[in-house]
Amino acid sequence: MRPLDWLMKNKGMNSRQWGLFILSLILALAWAIDSLLSFQTDRGPVTNGNKIYILITGEVKNSGVYVFDTEPSVTEVINRTGDHRENMTGRELEPYPHLTQGTGIHVSSEDGYIKIIPHSIPAFHKVTLGIPISLNTASQEELAAVPYIGPSLAKRIIQYKSNYGPFTAVEQIKSLPGVGKVRYSKISSYVGIQNGEGE
């Protein structure tokens, strides 16, 4: 009888230890997940390397964002959509020899001619694609879409440009109220000085 009694007691003690082990494991797992999520939030946008992102909309077969290794011509972008246009004239294409990073084009037809309207890719696309948003050319609404900036800081950035002129370095935003070292480190990977260029 004693060995059986010993086994029962021993089994109860191991269950308590097992419970503590499971609890410790759950707490460690929760901490690891929290740390991982914090790391992913703080690391900034996905880097795009040397890829060129162009948005095309309008009267084309497949509108959307297309990726190129070098700055493409308008014809290359339109052809990439599967819409091969042989009747595009040099006059229509002359103002746009090559499209730069973060450019969007809208294609339409007017009196038998193709009309190209260039514009900047919306801010939320740029953030997703890892294209820095220009502090100098972005609107208040575009700046507000940048992670860690928001509406109030976007307004102060616009006011700063109005008072002192364009930014010459990204670091200048550290002089604005509410931008300390930590916030600056989070913002800096999302913004630049020139459109599509980082600091």
Which tens digits make up the pLDDT trace of 71-95?
998 888 888 888 766 555 545 555 5
Examine the pLDDT at 156 and tell me if it is beyond 90: yes
- 197/159: higher pLDDT: 159
Scan for tokens 């070292």, then name that residue: 181
**pLDDT value for 35:** 44
Q: Is the pLDDT of residue 49 over 70?
A: no
Q: What is the pLDDT at residue 85?
A: 62
To the question of pTM greater than 0.75 for the whole model, the response is no
69 touches 92 (CB < 8 A):
no
How far is 121 from 183, CA to CA, in rounded Å? 25
In the structure, what pLDDT confidence band is assigned to residue 197 with cuts at 50, 70 and 90?
Answer: very low
pLDDT for the residue 107: 87
pLDDT at 43: 37
Listed residue (131, 141, 143, 145) closest to 167, CA to CA: 143
pLDDT at 89: 52
Give the mean model confidence (pLDDT) for residues 10-31: 63
Query: Band of the pLDDT at 98, cuts 50, 70, 90?
Result: confident
**Range of lowest pLDDT (54-58, 61-65, 85-89):** 85-89
CA–CA gap between residue 105 and residue 87 (Å, rounded): 18
132-192: CATH class: mainly alpha
Question: 191 φ, ψ to 5°?
Answer: -125, 160
Q: Is the pLDDT confidence value at 22 over 90? A: no
Which amino acid is it at 97?
Answer: P
pLDDT at 195: 46
Query: Given this model, what pLDDT does residue 97 score?
Result: 67
